[in-house]
Amino acid sequence: MNKNITMFYFSGTGNTRLVAEAAKEEFISQGYNCILKELTRGVSAQDLPESEMLGIAFPVFGLMIPGIVKDFLKDLPGNKDGKCFIIANAHSNSGLSIKQAEKLLCKKGYSLAGAVSTHTPSSSIITEDTEPELKAEEMRKTAANKVRQFIGDLINGKSTVENGNVNIKEKMVSLLFGLVMPGSVIKSACVNGNCTGCGHCVSLCPVGNIRMINGKPSWGKNCEVCMRCINLCPNNAIEMMQSAGRVRYKGGLV
C-alpha cells in the first residue's frame, strides 16, 4: 500500500469527524502519512494527488450519501490505478450508501480496498431523541475502535467490504427522504425567543447555506440536513420539524 493517504470527510455534528480521526491515528501509528481534509463546498476534488490512496468518510442520510459527498465524488479526476476505502457512519443502518459511493468511485477508475460502517448516536433531533450521554459515549468509543481495527486489517491486506441490508420498506423510506429533503427542513426552520442574532449558525454551516436577515438566520435551498446548526446553537434557539423540547446533540464536537 502507498504510504501516503488522503482522507476526505464530511461531518455535521462531529460523529463522522471522530471516526475519520480514529482512522488517521491508526494509519500514523502504523507508519503511514495521512492527511485529513474536511469536505465543505470550498474544497475541490481536483486537490487530490493522483499517487495517493483515497479515503472517504461520510454520515448516512436517509440510507444514502449526502449530496455534498455525491457531488465531490462525481467531480473527482479519473484515476485508473487508484485505490480507495469508505467509512459510512450511520445511526443504525448504512443502507445503500456504501454501494452508492463505490459505484461513483469505480466510474472514476478507483478500486475499492475496503469499506466499513460505524454506528454513532443520533443527531437527527428533528425526528427523534438522541441517546443518553453515557450510552452515546460508549457508541462513539465502539465506532472509533471498529475503524481502527478496519484500518489495521486494510494495511495488512485484509479486504473487508460491508454493505447495509435494506428491505423494501427501508428503500421506500429512503426514496421518500430524497424527495422531501431538504425542502421540509428548510420550510420548518425558525428560531425561538432564545435567539440573540449571534450569527454562530452562519459561521458553522459547512455549505454556507445560512445568512442573517434583520438579525435572524435564514436558510437557503442548499441545506445538507447535517443538523450542525440546530444542535450546536449556543442558545438552543433553532427549531426544525419535531425538534421542540428535545435535547440537542453536541457530543461529537465537544
Please, are residues 59 and 101 in contact by the beta-carbon 8 Å criterion? no
SS3 content of the chain, % helix, strand, coil (to 5): 35, 20, 45
By the 8 A CB rule, do 178 and 191 touch? no
pLDDT(169) > 80? no
* Average pLDDT over all residues of the chain: 89
C-alpha 211/C-alpha 112 separation (Å) is 39
Higher pLDDT pick, 66 / 96: 66
| Displacement of CA 39 from its chain's centroid (Å) | 9
**Mean pLDDT, rounded, for 98-122:** 94
Amino acid symbol at 71: D
Which cell is 245 given?
A: 423540547
Whether residue 9 contacts residue 36, with contact meaning beta carbons closer than 8 Å, is answered with yes
Judged against a pLDDT cut of 60, whether residue 158 lies above it is answered with: yes
pLDDT at 67: 92
pTM: 0.92
Task: Provide the percentage of residues in the chain whose pLDDT is more than 70.
Answer: 90
Please report, in angstroms and rounded to a whole number, the separation of the first and last CA atoms in the chain. Answer: 34
- Whole-number pLDDT of residue 51: 57
Find the mean pLDDT for residues 42-62: 81
How far, in Å, CA of 56 to CA of 87, rounded? 6
**pLDDT for residue 192:** 95
Which band of pLDDT confidence, cut at 50, 70 and 90, is reported for residue 209?
very high
